[in-house]
Structure 1
Amino acid sequence: MYDHGLSILEQYGLESTAVYRTRGAIICETEEGRVLIREFCGTPRKLENQAVLLSEIAGKCQVFVDELLPNQEGAYISVDRENTAYIVKRWFEGRECDARYEGDVCTGAAALASLHKVMKMPVQSHYVRESLIREYQRHNAELRKIRKFVSVKKKKNDFELRFLDSIRCFLGHAEAALYRLEHSGYEQLRTWALEQGSICHGEYNQHNVWILSDKEHVAVTNFDKWGFDVQAADLYQFMRKILEKHDWNLKLGQKLLESYEAVRPLSEAEKEYLALRFSYPEKYWKLANYYYTHNKAWISEKNLEKLKKLMAQYEKWQNFSGKMLL
């Protein structure tokens, strides 16, 4: 990929003066600025819509984004001699948001709010996210299926034993969260969001937030999973990942919310939505689902440690989800 990806620059009329490797891509210094090259495996139609979205953001928001660059023929996908597809994006000089530091993550929350104010387009049905009600119904059915699978196993490993010890409690929370969601204002909120053409980043985490070298600007990258949905979904995903690392610190959670709302205040319906999402044991479902869909004959020590951590954090998670948005 290193050599072949670099040759793609010819199709953009660019020449690299320095090249760096990064995760799954290469970064090049050019006379037009820093760019990133990586292989592309998505659909051209969604990529073209993504290019329009990023162009709109760049024209309306102080947060920088990794705009897609068209080649000399006006296409966003370039193919090398071996028929491998690549895309080229504007890139930045800076560092990833550090999840350990309050200042960085609060900056990330504020940047997300700025993006949400301008991330709107006419709805296209193929990019509308699944209803959260249907998602939770599916996840809960999967948890029950995994419980049944583990229960009938004659010989159980440490992970499976701990899973059976914890599933009743966590599944109870999952079912309660679904019931509350079904009887909340979620459907009206989702309908309103789609009428507004509200777009989510889809994978908003610290790895996709960059504190730029001038220390005054922020860049957000990797919009590949964008879609139409309730925008508070992005805020939930960002906060959950940060707070898991900070042992569900209530004060930090409040500061993240304050940083977001200083730019884009949340409606009461969005606050209810966030509270419901935090009450759902998503990380537990992810871990159980990973176990069920992978090699069950060998359970990594890492996954066992993750389950132990979830169980150890149970009370703090419950305290957070109960108090965060009161």
Structure 2
Amino acid sequence: MNDRAVSVLENYEIEVLRTWKGRGAMLCESDKGLLILKEYTGPKDKIIFQDALLKSISEQGFPSVESILKTKEGELIVYDQDRTPYILKTYFEGRECNVRDTKECIQAVKTLARLHKASFIDTSGVFPGAGQRPECRIDKEYEKHNRELKKVRKFLKEKSQKTNFEIFLLKHYDYFLDLALQVAEEVGCYLRENGERAKSEEKAGIVCHGDYQYHNILVTKGNAEERDGMAIINFEKCIRDNPVRDLYLFMRKLLEKGNWPIELGNLLLNAYHGEREMSEEDRVQLYYRFRYPEKFWKIVNFYYNSGKAWIPGRNLEKLERLLGQEEQKTGFLENYKSTNGWFSFSAH
């Protein structure tokens, strides 16, 4: 973020009082309140969809979300002299959600549930940008991941000179690949068996935040446990999908840090369910998201796309930690199954 970026603020109907640098962005105190200027890297149709979604969420009774300001010419995206695109959004005074505070995490999950209740869109009508924002399917997502895992495994098998990381990775590769393939098969079976329900929901659905993590959850009041004490920002990764996509991401990060504590998992699930009732499909998809070895896929993906020449030691540490947590994760999943034992987790 440079001085040229500040000049783009002249394109807006605002009086700038002062500016200062934030995390990869520029904060701005103005006569319209606190604002944030950020580079925008997505397609134009996505920002149109995001803008419409944020307005819809606010109209449906969830006011604590950002909004995107339009320029004097009515545009959502503005460019500096180098044609670098920016967007200007409202911002909130507050601090990031404290993931070490269980009560605060419970409130973050409740806030997420209320957000999802306000994120319903009917795409059978005219919703700006919805036609260009297809829904995400968990089975297609995992099929793509598995193709990538197979590709890297083939590469590793054929490589003659292997580093210590590659030797260690290959040693444990088949365990995680087999698990990934099994989960994808079971997810596919479940979705095929529930095809009619899926068809009825094709033209309507909930839009997920897409990146529901602590740094996108701001505590805006002294007491985070207040109903409206949190605000949600950075919807750039919003996507049509089952809402447990967001719940899974937030929970997985917390559970990994604590070695998959069953009690915390149950507290978070009950908190979410208390605000937005989870359907059978929600519970099944959440189970498969927990069970799929996404962390392993992320490690492999980073390795393969980084040039494969040099891998930081912390990636070996991540892999070792992942392996060390498998027993605790299995225990968590077994508890989840017993708690929600009224549906089958087996492929037919």
What TM-score does the superposition give when structure 2 sets the normalisation length? Answer: 0.88
- Identify if the C-alpha distance between structure 1 residues 129 and 112 changes in structure 2 by more than 3 Å, giving closer, same or farther: same
| 2:31 matches 1:41 | no
CA distance in 1, matches of 2:59, 2:321: 43
The one-letter code of the counterpart of 1:9 is: L
Paired residue total:
326
- Aligned to 1:194, the other structure's residue is in SS state coil
Shift of 1:196: 2.4
Query: Which residue in 2 is equivalent to 1:54?
Result: 54
| 2:268 matches 1:260 | no
Work out whether residues 57 and 115 of structure 1, in 8 Å CA contact, stay in contact via their aligned partners in 2: yes
- The match for 2:210 among 187, 199, 202 is 202
Query: Which residue in 2 is equivalent to 1:212?
Result: 220
CA distance in 2, matches of 1:50, 1:311: 38
- Aligned to 2:332, the other structure's residue is in SS state helix
RMSD: 1.9
Cα displacement string for residues 102-136 of structure 1 (whole angstroms, at most 9, x for unaligned residues) = 12221211111111111122333431234221221
- Identify if the C-alpha distance between structure 1 residues 83 and 125 changes in structure 2 by more than 3 Å, giving closer, same or farther: closer
The one-letter code of the counterpart of 1:207 is: H
- Identify if the C-alpha distance between structure 1 residues 19 and 213 changes in structure 2 by more than 3 Å, giving closer, same or farther: farther
Identity %: 36
Query: Which residue in 1 is equivalent to 2:14?
Result: 14
CA distance in 1, matches of 2:137, 2:54: 25
Work out whether residues 45 and 132 of structure 2, in 8 Å CA contact, stay in contact via their aligned partners in 1: no
Work out whether residues 53 and 119 of structure 1, in 8 Å CA contact, stay in contact via their aligned partners in 2: yes
Single out whichever of 245-254 and 207-216 deviates more from structure 2.
207-216
Shift of 1:63: 5.0
Q: How does 1:1-326 map to 2 (within 5 A)?
A: 1-123=1-123, 124-185=130-191, 187=195, 190-215=198-223, 216=226, 217-325=229-337, 326=340
Work out whether residues 221 and 230 of structure 2, in 8 Å CA contact, stay in contact via their aligned partners in 1: no
- Aligned to 2:275, the other structure's residue is in SS state coil
Shift of 1:253: 1.0
CA distance in 1, matches of 2:114, 2:81: 41
Single out whichever of 75-84 and 114-123 deviates more from structure 2.
75-84
Cα displacement string for residues 63-114 of structure 1 (whole angstroms, at most 9, x for unaligned residues) = 5111001122222122334433221100010011122221222121111111
- Identify if the C-alpha distance between structure 1 residues 264 and 130 changes in structure 2 by more than 3 Å, giving closer, same or farther: closer
What TM-score does the superposition give when structure 1 sets the normalisation length? Answer: 0.93
- Identify if the C-alpha distance between structure 1 residues 89 and 221 changes in structure 2 by more than 3 Å, giving closer, same or farther: same
- Identify if the C-alpha distance between structure 1 residues 287 and 120 changes in structure 2 by more than 3 Å, giving closer, same or farther: same
- Identify if the C-alpha distance between structure 1 residues 151 and 79 changes in structure 2 by more than 3 Å, giving closer, same or farther: closer
CA distance in 2, matches of 1:187, 1:159: 42
CA distance in 2, matches of 1:82, 1:158: 44
CA distance in 1, matches of 2:257, 2:61: 29
Shift of 1:270: 1.0
